[in-house]
Amino acid sequence: MKTAIYVFALFFSLISFGQPPYKRTLKLMGSSFDITVVAKDADEANIAIDMAITEITRIEKLISSWDKNSQTSTINRNAGMKPVQVDKELFQLIQRAIKISKLTNGAFDISYASMDKVWFFDGSMTKMPSEEVIKKSVEKVGYQNIILNEEDHSVFLKLKGMKIGFGAIGKGYAADKAKALLQEKGVVSGIINASGDLNTWGTQPNGKDWLVAIINPLNKAKVFSWMPVKNSAVVTSGNYEKYVKFNNTLYTHIIDPRTGYPAKEILSATIFTKTAELADALATSIFVMGVHTGLDFINQLNGVECIIIDANNKMIFSKNIQLKNVQND
């Protein structure tokens, strides 16, 4: 029997041959999560899944900018006024985010949350925002203005009205932490799927690797290819459903935090690497960078693979992808 586990309806599917693993789907962090584990029975599986849910809920309380009581919200409230001491875990997450910002020359930036909303992808926009409005929208965006103090684990946003947010890496980080906890507790195999921010470990019940399908972003019924995923994360950023079009140019919902203009060269960018947090950040970055700059960037990184689908619906592989492992549908 062939059992399909749909990981991300727009871009991914995972399949398991033989006895299906145990899976629960629920809403966490405002998104759909699929938590899948391989266990000897339903009781053992439910205990493991409950542990994962508790960990993901803990992460949400730490990083949510919607929860006024979270440390992230406290940082944002005190922007331009004073530093805020935070837990070591949150401090280190912000540290890593800033490193990615430096590595990508600001294509990834958690201070994007400061951006004034001038682009709307709900059908309400009738004309292009002016250059002046777009430029003003990013005045308070800039990772360089996030000041960290290693000694007391404090975070200071230099500009009043500045904000940080973890929408681009939060679910990936939660998936990583849930996976790490379940591995520590002896769960031998599973998948944490945070609305497409996917992390896997172990194998299917029959001992074969989990498989991920790369879906045609213009035709969800069409699978471009299958790839094995072994103890690693897979994340896709995609644009084909949320966009506006002016003067025959398609502008997508993924916006360059440096300029305020939407990305426009890529339909989807899929990253394969060890952690969903890093994959999440890099997928967004590649989208903003564009095909050539993004591909060159990924080709310089160890342990990172990338598949880009460009505006012409052409699939482009990074040099690290082992094409012999791709199983065409």
49-97 per-position pLDDT tens digit: 999 999 999 999 999 998 999 999 999 999 999 999 999 999 999 999 9
Query: Is residue 204 domain-resident?
Result: no
Residue 127 has pLDDT above 70, yes or no: yes
**Number of alpha helices (DSSP H) and beta strands (DSSP E) in the chain:** 7, 18
User: In the chain, what percentage of residues exceed pLDDT 70?
Assistant: 88
* CA dihedral (271, 272, 276, 281) positive or negative: negative
- Of the listed ranges 115-124, 128-137, 153-162, 236-245, the least confidently predicted one is 236-245
Query: Is residue 144 domain-resident?
Result: yes
Query: Is residue 108 domain-resident?
Result: yes
pLDDT at 329: 44
pLDDT at 16: 47
Query: Is residue 100 domain-resident?
Result: yes
Does the pTM surpass 0.85? The reply is yes
CATH number of the domain encompassing residue 117: 1.10.3980.10
How many independent structural domains does the chain possess? 1
Domain hosting residue 80, numbered range: 71-157
- Of the listed ranges 9-23, 139-153, 218-232, the least confidently predicted one is 9-23
163-206 per-position pLDDT tens digit: 999 998 999 999 999 999 999 999 999 999 998 899 999 999 88
The one-letter code for the residue type at 164 is I
Query: Is residue 164 domain-resident?
Result: no
Q: How confident is the model at residue 245 (pLDDT cuts 50, 70, 90)?
A: confident
Q: How confident is the model at residue 322 (pLDDT cuts 50, 70, 90)?
A: low
Query: Is residue 217 domain-resident?
Result: no
Query: Is residue 322 domain-resident?
Result: no
Residue 20 has pLDDT above 70, yes or no: no
Query: How many other CB atoms sit within 10 Å of the CB of residue 299?
Result: 13
